[in-house]
Structure formats: structure tokens, C-alpha cells
Amino acid sequence: MNLTFLRRPSGLQFGGVDVRQLAERAGRTPFFAYDRSAIDARIRELRNLLPAAISLHYSIKANPMPAVVHYLAARVDGFDVASAQEMALALDAGTRPLEIGFAGPGKSHDDLRRAVACGVHVHVESETQLRLVTAIGWDLGVRPNVAIRVNPDFKVTHSGMRMGGGPAPFGVDADQVPALLRELATREVSLAGFHIFWGSQCLHAATVIEAQQHSVELVLRLANGLAEPPRFVNLGGGFGIPYFPGEAPLEVKVVCEAMHGWMSRLREHLPATKPVLEFGRYLVGEAGIYVCRVIDRKVSRDKKFIVTDGGLHHHLAASGNFGQALRRNFPVVIGNRPEEVPSERCHVVGCLCTPLDRLADDIELPEVRIGDLVVVKQAGAYGRSASPLHFLSHPEPIEMLV
């Protein structure tokens, strides 16, 4: 039941619901809301563009809210997990273990034991991990399913966060993989696939295309001479979303069309190998908002400050304090008066006692009033879970899937 608010201008509609109604549903501010229809639409759009043979995985790390994971379980072909707890979320959502890949440079013995016992694919990232997985398999009396995560030998230049091509703790350097494969052949483990992760948050189509092509060629080289072809090859993700003014969305159609080239190479040489692409931020990032309430406004030395009950403890990335070299504003609107034209220049800050706690610097907004709802867009990924929730011991934000 979506309320229509009488005698008031229309609020921002999110998932078909007025954002003021969402605030009442949450019971308090601040809150994160994720729009299931937007997630669904994004997946359908991707499915339409992707070659049919491609398996579409969700990287739980982008947004581990259980309701989101359950919703996605029915819509994607598998999950990529980065911890035992993420693996548990994927299993709880009914995903088959062989559709789960567990990657991470620092898997503990406990992580590995749980993963081997559950039968998920362990993405082995070092000799140590191979040794431990073998020992655990022996101890449990099972044959572990492993993939090799490769630190690729090519470098892309336009990725938001480059994770391959140079020295890195992730995966096994491409040139060390043949030795690891020889080692692996002597162990009681099943080699199920390769995992090549070259970067993330890339908005440049040509870079994604090039990285995927290089990844496939790398896999063809690595798989050459294997007794059995790998069952899958995970070519990573990398699809970015625009956050800041001037950023254009990734041309996904162009990227997907180019996939037919490397798909045919793969089909020709490794016809039984299923290509997997993993998407995290790209599936959920634009489907989320962070909503906080204006609790004060003040003028200090001719600058206007809008003080909210939110802040960096809930959404560190939006404050600019998480990995960004240069702080830029996430898109921000006044949720209860989204149509009003900007009329004042102000700074929107959080409630914390630190100058780091900024939500929007020097931004044009309609005249902001106490009680207004400040909506930060593009907040569906790496929001709540990537923030220092206990910093200054304020209440945690509510989360809801709309």
C-alpha cells in the first residue's frame, strides 16, 4: 500500500513509494533503502545484453543485506563470497555450493575448512592455500573443489581500482601458475576453474573489453595442456557506476557486443568451459539510497551548514574518507521536495564531532528546512557494510528492501 500524501507536494518516489513513507516504515532516520525493482531491471537489462552462455554472479561484498542476497539468489547464477560469513549468507539463500566461489588473499584455516566442508569452490590464491586446502580435504575425507585465482600479467589503465598487472597480494602471478598447476596435479583436489580479477569500478568500455580479451587469452595459455579443461573461468567484474558530475555511465551494450569475439575463442579452444562474470556494485549500487534527516541549520562565518542525523559512520564512502584521494559529492537531493529548484549554496554535514563528517560540500539545494529528508543516491553498494558503524556510538542505520 503506497500512501499518497495529501496537502503536500510529492516526495521522491523510490521503488514506487514516497520516501517520506519509507522514513515512517523505518521508524527513524537514517536508513538505507534498496529498490528491488531497480535491481531486477538491472539484471534483466544485463541478461538481454550478455551472451546467453555467460553465468552472472553476484559479489556479496557489495551489499550483504540478507534480504538483498535472498532476492538475488533467485535472479543470478551464483555468488562470489569473500568470507565464511558471506558464504553462509549464500548457502542460507539456497544457493548450491558449486555456484559459490570463495576468493580472498587472506583466508584463514577456519575459513578454508568451512569452505571445503561445504563444497564451495575455493579460489586458491597461493601455495599456502593449496597446501591447507589439501590437508583439510585429507582430514575431512573429501576432495576439495578449487579454482586458481590468477594475478594477471596484463595491466589496464582506466580501471577505477586496478587489481592486477603489478605486484599484488591477490591471486597467483600468471607466470607462477604453471608450477602451481603441476603441484596441484599431485594433490587430491579437483581443479574446477580459473579466476582472473583485473580491477573494479571501471567506466571505460574499451578498458573492460581489452581486459576481458586479455583474460581469455591468459586462460587459454594457462589451460593449455591440462588433462581436463576447467569447468568455469571467472573473468572478474569491473563494471562501474557513475558517482560524480561528469562521469558517464559505462557503455555496457558495447562491452557485451564485444564479448562475442572472446566467447568464440573460448568456445573453439575450451568448449566445455563456462564463462562467469561477477557483478557487485553494478547490480546494486544505483538501486540504493541513504536517507537522513535535517536536524539543524546554521550559519558560520557566512557559510551555511545543514546538519543531519546521518554521517560517515553510516556512509563513509559518501563522506570521501574511504580510499578517495580527492573528495567529491555523491548526488544529493531533498527527498520531500525533489522538484524544488536549487536556491541556496550550503554544506551538508553529518552529526559527528569531526570535520571529516561531510555529506555534500558547497552544493546548491532548495532552501533546506529542519525536518527535511536528505537523500544520498548511488548508495546501494559499499554503504552500511563499509562504514565505521560504532564511531562515536550513534545508532546504526536501518536497512530495508523496498
- Applying CB under 8 A, the residues found at the interface with a copy of itself are 60-61, 64, 82-83, 85-86, 89, 103-109, 126-129, 151, 161-163, 166-170, 172-173, 295-298, 300-303, 305, 307-309, 311, 316, 321-323, 325, 347, 349-356, 370, 384-395
Residue 39 beta carbon to a copy of itself: minimum distance, rounded to whole angstroms: 20
Alpha-carbon distance of 24 to 107, in angstroms, equals 41
Residues 6 or more apart in contact with residue 45 via CB below 8 angstroms: 252
Residue 249 beta carbon to a copy of itself: minimum distance, rounded to whole angstroms: 23
Residue 334 beta carbon to a copy of itself: minimum distance, rounded to whole angstroms: 17
Residue 12 beta carbon to a copy of itself: minimum distance, rounded to whole angstroms: 22
Residue 15 beta carbon to a copy of itself: minimum distance, rounded to whole angstroms: 24
Full DSSP string of 342-379: P-EEEEEE-SSSSTT-EEEEEEEESPP-TTPEEEESS-
Q: Which is nearer to a copy of itself, 1 or 353 (CB)?
A: 353
Q: Which is nearer to a copy of itself, 215 or 273 (CB)?
A: 215
Q: Which is nearer to a copy of itself, 297 or 337 (CB)?
A: 297
Full DSSP string of 73-140: HTTSSEEEESSHHHHHHHHHTT--GGGEEE--TT--HHHHHHHHHHTPEEEE-SHHHHHHHHHHHHHH
Q: Which is nearer to a copy of itself, 44 or 345 (CB)?
A: 345
Q: Which is nearer to a copy of itself, 89 or 256 (CB)?
A: 89
* Residue position matching grid coordinates 574499451: 206
Report residue 189 as a C-alpha cell.
583436489
Residue 269 beta carbon to a copy of itself: minimum distance, rounded to whole angstroms: 27
- Kindly list the distances between the CA atom of residue 173 and the CA atoms of 153, 160, 276, in Å, as whole numbers in the listed order: 7, 21, 20
Cβ 215 vs Cβ 232: under 8 Å: no
Alpha-carbon distance of 208 to 156, in angstroms, equals 8
Cβ 359 vs Cβ 373: under 8 Å: no
Q: Which is nearer to a copy of itself, 141 or 166 (CB)?
A: 166
Radius of gyration over every alpha carbon of the chain, rounded to an integer in angstroms: 23
